[in-house]
């Protein structure tokens, strides 16, 4: 359960089909900015694959960042209220109340088919492996 940019509560079921889910530290960090811009470009080429970006940022912060960055092909979602995404996907850094960097590919039956937990938050994920997994998911 997370919050969208309009403040509404949503779940995985609100996003049918194949999904790439990014767990990022904050939209206002350089590495996260680079990652989200790259996935935004790739999302335009992926057809029906949705790219969901999860962070602990407030929804209005995510919306502001997307507008300023011209990012329109990814969906930013906030875990700030419940932290349920972070807890359920194993990315919550509890003492900092932030997410560790990770990438998940979820198929249309909501089964996780690919996982990359990036060992260092200042490191980018393996874009090619994540994109290949998303293209292979059904």
Active site residue 66: no
How much is the pLDDT for 60? Answer: 94
Tokens of 3: 């919050």
What's the predicted TM-score (pTM) here?
0.95
Handedness of CA 106, 82, 122, 89 (dihedral sign): negative
The one catalytic residue among 24, 25, 32, 53: 32
CA angle 19, 96, 69 (to 5 degrees): 50
Q: How far is CA 90 from CA 12, 86, 96, 98, in A?
A: 16, 6, 14, 11
Euclidean distance between CA atoms 103 and 89, whole angstroms: 10
**pLDDT tens-digit profile, the chain (138 residues):** 999 999 999 999 999 999 999 999 999 999 999 999 999 999 989 988 999 999 999 999 999 999 999 999 999 999 999 999 999 999 999 999 999 999 999 999 999 999 999 999 899 999 999 999 999 998
The pLDDT, as a whole number, for residue 47 is 86
Listing DSSP states for 16-48 in one string gives: -S-EEEEE-S-TTSHHHHHHHHHHHHHHTTSTT
Residue 138: the pLDDT is: 87
pLDDT value of residue 72: 92
From 137, 111, 127, 129, select the one nearest 39 (Cα to Cα).
127
Query: Closest Cα partner for 18 from 130, 132, 136, 106?
Result: 106
* Whole-angstrom distance, CA of residue 20 vs CA of residue 4: 16
CA 33 to chain CA centroid, nearest Å: 12
pLDDT in the model for residue 121: 85
């Amino acid at each position: 359960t997370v919050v969208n940019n309009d403040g509404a509560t949503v779940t995985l079921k609100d996003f049918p089909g194949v999904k790439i889910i990014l767990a990022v530290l904050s939209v206002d960090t350089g590495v996260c900015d680079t990652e989200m811009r790259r996935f935004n470009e790739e999302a335009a080429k992926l057809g029906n694959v949705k790219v969901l970006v999860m962070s602990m940022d407030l929804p209005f912060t995510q919306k502001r960042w997307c507008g300023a960055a011209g990012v329109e092909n990814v969906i930013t979602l906030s875990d700030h209220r419940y932290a349920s995404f972070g807890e359920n996907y194993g990315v919550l850094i509890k003492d900092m109340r932030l997410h560790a960097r990770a990438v998940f590919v979820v198929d249309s039956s909501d089964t996780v088919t690919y996982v990359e937990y990036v060992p260092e938050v200042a490191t980018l994920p393996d874009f090619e492996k994540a994109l290949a997994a998303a293209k292979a998911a059904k």
